[in-house]
Amino acid sequence: MSRMGGVEVGEGHGHGVSAGADRKWLVWALALIVGFMAVELVVGLAAGSLALITDAGHMLTDAASIVLALVAIRLAARPAKGGFTYGLKRAEILSAQANGITLLLLTAWFVYETVDRLIDPPPVRGMLVFVTAIAGIVVNIAASWCISRANRSSLNVEGAFQHVLNDLYAFIATAIAGAVVWWTGFARADAIAALVVAGLMAKAGWGLVRESGRIFLEAAPAGIDPEVVGAQVASVPDVVQAHDLHIWQITSGEPALSAHVLVRPTADCHAVRAGIEELMRAQHRLQHTTLQVDHASEDQLDHCEHSHGPTYRFTGR
């Protein structure tokens, strides 16, 4: 607790989760991925397999996503102070967006290389591709299990998990391609597998960019409809209307709500506020709520001349 100008400033209550266990599991997954990525890149070059090289590139983004998640966990754990009233919780959203953009850029490059190889396929050592891909499946299953033990409510941790899971599917496609090349000599199967991997990378990258963008734009979290929430607030006993209702995410897994609520002149503002907060916790898991509750005047219902957003009134009473 610090003191500024005679006013005590406390650290405040935190909204984060225990980061120690997350770091441990993420580090284990990172070690597995980086170790196998180096092996796969060498084998991919030796085998002439674009599918393996593409997989190695995907694993590089997996490793980057885990490193960014580890950095973001450390930054997000810092207490809110000074001008950063939410702390550095959104550092994870910045890293998730950077991760998603990187995936999309790599996808474009791999698609370009794949098209070139489909036109003029080089020789590929199918057996080497197949054996390496099978080993990659085992490594990715182990890494996925490690990350699944961490807190996946974090967009960064969930992003890392989805990356590794997509890589698992990619290795399955690469193993099939390796078997086809090995048994039939159809070299274009390797480029087709690389195209499948690029598609998975594009899907994962776009998902991260979209979700992080929604948080930056202060959009309501997926699964929470502001219209439904507004109607529920307005239906609380003694509430006359609700406006200036905003729902956003401070960071992934931390939704917040603020609203201006008008109640009947004879109502208990504190009791109404407590009822709304309990309703939000029970219905939408909204733990962080900031409510301004005022009495509505006898001659007018609107307390604010210029409210931001729609006004909610309950007409059933």
Residue-wise pLDDT tens digits, 226-265: 999 999 999 999 999 999 999 998 877 788 999 999 999 9
Rg (CA), the chain: 26
Residue with tokens 């503002």: 269
- pTM for this entry: 0.71
Distances (CA, A) of 273 to 234, 243, 256: 12, 14, 15
Look at residue 151 and tell me whether its pLDDT is greater than 80.
no
Give the per-residue pLDDT at 17.
41
Q: Which domains does the chain have, with CATH numbers?
A: 17-216 (1.20.1510.10), 226-295 (3.30.70.1350)
Phi-psi group of 94: left, alpha or beta (phi > 0 → left; psi -120 to 50 → alpha; rest → beta): alpha
Asked whether the beta carbons of 241 and 312 are under 8 A apart, the reply is yes
Query: What's the full length of the chain, in residues?
Result: 317
Asked whether the beta carbons of 216 and 111 are under 8 A apart, the reply is no
- Contact partners, residue 218, CB within 8 Å, separation at least 6: 246, 248
If you average pLDDT over residues 217-232, what whole number do you get? 90
Q: What is the pLDDT of residues 23-67, one digit of tens each?
A: 888 889 899 999 998 888 888 888 888 778 877 877 887 887 788
Percent of the chain with pLDDT over 90: 21
Distance CA 197, CA 111 (A): 10
Give the per-residue pLDDT at 305.
57
Q: What is the pLDDT of residues 258-294, one digit of tens each?
A: 999 999 998 999 999 999 999 999 999 888 899 999 9
Exposed e or buried b per residue across 5-22, where buried means at least 16 C-beta atoms within 10 angstroms of its C-beta: eeeeeeeeeebbbebeeb
Q: Which helix (H) or strand (E) holds 258?
A: strand 254-263
Enter the tokens of residue 9.
Answer: 């400033």
Helix (H, G, I), strand (E, B) or coil at 149: coil
